[in-house]
Chains A and B, each alone.
Chain A
Amino acid sequence: MKIVAALIVILALVIGIVPQFTDCQSQGRAIALQNGKTVPMKCHWTAISEIAMAVPLVGLGAVTAVSKRKESRRIVAGFGSLLGVFVILLPNTLIGVCASSDMLCNSVMKPTLTLAGILVIGLSLVGLVISERKAEPTA
């Protein structure tokens, strides 16, 4: 169980940190407006939003490691899966990234987040199965 928790924390760190270095803002690209000002591209907003997913995931990982009650583990697993879903949706549909496949946000950030989200969901479910099994009665 501790391994599952550790992996979730690692994934949370990936989800929060990787986008900060792979969005177009970090590559020095932004949208230039008519009045000369620059605004960040949407991949930047995706990166910021992912931090909001990563922080609670770290907390969930910690809770997974220490929690012993079946009920709290179930809640944690459910919440983890939900966060995983949002991690995937943010770069793919909710906000999105740049369309061109030679942008780093498209070729690296999006697939990394998608894979991390899938793994978070998978690990949450594994954690749930393990905790259900462990709760079998012993003499």
Chain B
Amino acid sequence: MNLIRLATKNIAGSAFRSGVVFLCALVVAGLSLSTVLLIRGAQESLRLALERLGADVVVVPEGESSRVETALLMGKPTTAWMPQENVSKIANIPGVAVASPQLYLASLANASCCSASELFMVAFDPKTDFTIEPWLKRKLGHELRLGEAVGGHLVFVPEGEENIKLYGYFISLKGNLEPTGMGLDQTLFLTFDTAQDVARISRTRAERPLEIPANSISAVMVKMKPGADAHTAALDIIQKVPNVTPIESPELFQAYRKQITGLLRGMLAVLGITLVLSLVLISLIFSMAANERRREIGVLRALGATRVAILQSLLSEAAILALGGGAVGIVLGALTTFLFRDLIVRSLEMPFLFPSLPSLLTLVGAGLIVALAGVTLAALLPAFRISLQEPAIAMRE
């Protein structure tokens, strides 16, 4: 028998009270972890996506910036067109290292000629591209041939088939990119040549043909020379290239960032309120318990327990319940966030990437510490007060 065993016996002895504290710790820990996971997941996803795009500036037709951002963010297809000659104009801007054009296309919705409905397709120029090409070199070892494509993490060949059918054209999926938690995961990447080939075949084989306006592109990805200033280049582009909007990388997804910030602030507010309420409840429960066990504590003091020992015993009870409830809450929080991540992304319309295992373990550890600190703190004041009481008074009726 020691103080810890005494604490566990006391916990078992008041099942209802212990249960409530356990549940509070569970809710606090689980909710905290889920919220942090969502925040970190959104930030991480944005970071990876920007890294993946690799562009310092993205130039899109004027007025199309939010639609293009939505396409990249959520994988909701969009089309946008501007003259192809913009590429050379942009390439000639001082400080620009590479200007790579892209075409934004979409598969048909619920058409028999397309096995993937409303799939966002990005066609790139292999000669200038710096987004997909590095991955191709690393993973495939060769360029994409005609009829081949590469997909984001969530793009797949329908079950029972060998290729993805788009506009009646069979595309061979050569591989999948690493996940970003954003719309890029639901995007198909193909070369300009393949895109034109699909458009050609679609005239005879598809329900509706794929239209690629002649001498048109959808966007230009710009990479700056080392040391060159993207902002200056963006200003130059506005001056020299008509009817376009240059979006600097840090500004990308600004609308969504604001939305997400708003959403996450809301979540933090809910978390804060829950935390405060739970801690108040726990403090009340411990106050009640300390009061009810006044006599018992007086007896313990008579038997030789120091004030510190009484404090230790009460705080041990709090700590055990905090760790137990916290651990269960964290596991449930992490599990739920992980299992329902697709639903979260869809319903909140925000990017999300579940963190890697080392990152997750750090968060779990932090969550446990928060639960432990919170519950113990809530129990501290009532425990302290009761430990100071004169034993004779504590034992009175």
- Which residues of chain B are within 8 angstroms of A111 by Cβ–Cβ distance? 339-340, 342-343
B174 in the interface, Cβ–Cβ < 8 Å? no
CB closest chain-B residue, reference A106:
B342
Q: Is the CB of A115 within 8 A of B342?
A: no
User: In residues 76-121 of chain A, which contact B (Cβ within 8 Å)?
Assistant: 99, 101-102, 106-108, 110-111, 114-115, 118
Mark contacts of A40-68 with chain B using CB atoms, 8 A cut-off: 1 yes-contact digit, 0 otherwise: 00000000000000000000000000000
Chain B residues with Cβ below 8 Å from A115 are: 335-336, 339
Secondary structure dominating the interface of A: helix
**Interface residue count on the B side (C-beta < 8 Å):** 11
Chain A residues closer than 8 Å to B336, beta-carbon distance: 115
Hey, which chain A residues are within 8 Å of B380, CB to CB? none
Contact between chains at B156 and A107 (CB < 8 Å): no
Contact flags B326-358 to A (C-beta < 8 A → 1, else 0)? 000000000110011011001000000000000
Q: How far in angstroms is the closest Cβ of chain A from B184? A: 14
- Chain A residues contacting B154 (CB-CB under 8 Å) are 101
Give B128-185 interface residues, CB cut-off 8 Å to A.
154, 156, 158-159
| B335 & A107 in contact (Cβ 8 Å cutoff) | no
Q: Which residue of B lies closest to A32 (CB)?
A: B112
- Closest Cβ neighbor of B343 among chain A residues: A107
Q: Chain A residues near B346: list those with CB within 8 A.
A: 102, 107
Contacts of A101 in B (CB 8 A): 154, 342
Q: How far is the CB of B159 from chain A (nearest CB, A)?
A: 6
CA distance A102 to B75 in the complex (A): 12
Task: Report A117 CB to chain B, min CB distance, Å.
Answer: 11
Min CB distance, B89 to chain A, in Å?
A: 39
* B156 contacts A114, C-beta separation under 8 Å: no
Q: How far is the CA of A106 from the CA of B342 in the complex (A)?
A: 8
Contact residues, B298-351 vs A (CB, 8 A): 335-336, 339-340, 342-343, 346
Q: Which B residues contact A (CB, under 8 angstroms)?
A: 154, 156, 158-159, 335-336, 339-340, 342-343, 346
For this complex, 5 residue pairs linking A to B, each with C-beta atoms less than 8 Å apart, are A99-B156, A99-B159, A107-B343, A108-B340, A111-B342
7 new A-B contacts at CB < 8 Å, known A111-B342, A114-B339, A115-B339 = A99-B156, A99-B159, A106-B342, A107-B340, A108-B343, A115-B336, A118-B335
In the complex, the 10 A-B pairs of residues with the closest C-beta atoms, listed nearest first: A111-B339, A107-B342, A107-B343, A101-B342, A111-B340, A114-B339, A115-B339, A101-B154, A108-B343, A99-B156
